Every structure is written in structure tokens, then in C-alpha cells.
Amino acid sequence: MSEENEVITGIEVPIFLKYNFTAGASPTRFLARVKEGVLTGQRCPKCKQVYVPPRGACAGCGVPTEEEVELADKGTVQSFTIVSIPIPGNPIEPPFVVANLVPDGANISFIHLMSECDNADVHIGQRVQAVWKPEEEWDYAMDNIKYFKPIDEPDVPIEKIGKLPVTGLEG
């Protein structure tokens, strides 16, 4: 190689592929209700546990979930992290709290944001409630819920997290 030639160590090859994304039949039913401002789960016919968001099967039993169950938009912090770096493609400003939340009436957590709180006060067992976007902005998306905020209810004992009925603590 002559010395004038620059050494090539790489080339940029951008790859663009277009997909028509489908949610799945079960998630479709869930998203249709989220568009109406209602959280729903699906109950496993075998173990009776309620999944949210439903993905089509009880992963534990490997059977389809059909029965739809309406859930509260209140829930409990199962665990959380405080994220100090930005998420690619997400405008949210760090540091922010990402929590594993179990809505009342479900037996499994999903991930969502927590806000209107002091990050240092967030803790496992804490009670929270959804803060929804204005109704006119609702779409087929979990982002209809802007975030969850702490509410003035007593903490849930560890052993009861993920086991509360839809009526919450009083139930």
C-alpha cells in the first residue's frame, strides 16, 4: 500500500427495513381498553393469576389467557431504579424513576415511570396511582398514562405485593 493512501477501517452502511408491526390478538384487546382509559388484565384459566399487559398466554402454564379482568389504576411499587442516563429516543430528563408496578387486581408487574415525588423517598411497597394524559390524547398505547404518582395510603407489606384485589388495600 502506498503511503498516501488512507487506511480504511470501516464504512457506514445504514440499514433501513420497514415493518408493519402487529401487537398480537391479546395485546390488541388490552390496547383497545387503554384507549378508553381502562387497564385490563387477562386471567389464566389454570393458575388463576392475572397478567398485565396480557401477551396471549400464561407464561407459567403455557396456556392461552382469555378471561378479561378490569384492573384499578392504583398499584404498588414492587421494585424500582433511578435512571441517571438518557434513554435513546426518549425525551425524558434524567434522573427519573422507573418502577416495576403491580396494579391492584393483577399478579404481575409492568414497568412505568414515577413522578410527582422526591426520588429519594421512593420505596418498595409504596402505593401509587396513574396520572393520565388528557382524554383527547388517548391512543392505543401505554403512554396514555404519563406516569404514576405516590398516594397517601399505607405501604403494602412485602408478602402482599402482587396479591391485592382490584379493590386495593381495603379488599
Instruction: Rule CB under 8 A: choose which of 85, 121, 135, 152 binds another protein.
Output: 85
Instruction: Rule CB under 8 A: choose which of 32, 38, 47, 151 binds another protein.
Output: 47
Pairing label, strands 127-132, 74-83: antiparallel
Candidates 73-81, 126-134, 149-157 — which segment interacts with another protein by CB under 8 A? 73-81
Q: Which helix (H) or strand (E) holds 63?
A: strand 63-64
Cα-Cα-Cα-Cα torsion 40, 41, 45, 48, nearest 10 degrees, comes to -120
Q: Is 23 in the site for another protein (CB under 8 A)?
A: yes
- Residue 61 Cβ, how far from another protein at the closest point, in Å? 5
Helix count (H) and strand count (E) of the chain? 1, 10
Binding residues (CB under 8 A) for another protein: these are 9-11, 13, 15, 17-28, 31, 44, 47, 49-51, 53, 55-64, 78-85, 87-90, 95, 98-100, 107-108, 111-113, 124, 140-143, 162
